[in-house]
Amino acid sequence: MKRTAILVFVFAFGIFLAEGVFASAQARCLTQEFYFSVGINRGADPISTITGGNCEYFFMAGGRSTFTNASVTKKAGHGRFEQIGRFRFRYTPSRGYKGEDHYAMKICGRNLMGKGCSVISFKAIVK
């Protein structure tokens, strides 16, 4: 079974999204590029498309931005969304599930605009 990890790097007010693929060529997780800003409490609503395996999200502040904490704010309805590191999260759909799922996390920090928290609400399309 192929395992896919999505790495999301945050630079100042934006996100650079990189996909890493491990093992076979079947499983895949693609997440649309998205932006958020903790300084103005601006969140995001990205979509992840999953064909086997799971999705991993890693956030790293860049420039003059810093992150102070992060947490799961909404559990997945048809799988498991968990925090696996200080700013790293993983979604694993329930075995055999196909359809939409929703989960969310909050990340707090500060940047040149101020300090605050942003909620990132994911919509997963599991195929």
Share of the chain above pLDDT 70, in %: 79
What is the model's pLDDT at position 62? 86
| Spatial separation of the C-alpha atoms in residues 93 and 76, rounded to whole Å | 8
Compute φ and ψ for 60, nearest 5 degrees. -140, 125
Q: Which domain holds residue 11?
A: 3-126
The DSSP code for 78 is: S
Compute φ and ψ for 65, nearest 5 degrees. -95, 145
Mean pLDDT, to the nearest integer, of 2-21?
A: 41
Tell me the residue type at 65.
S
Tell me: pLDDT of 5 over 90: no
Average pLDDT of the chain, as a whole number: 84
Q: How many domains does the chain have?
A: 1
Question: Higher confidence at residue 112 or residue 16?
Answer: 112
pTM of the model: 0.79
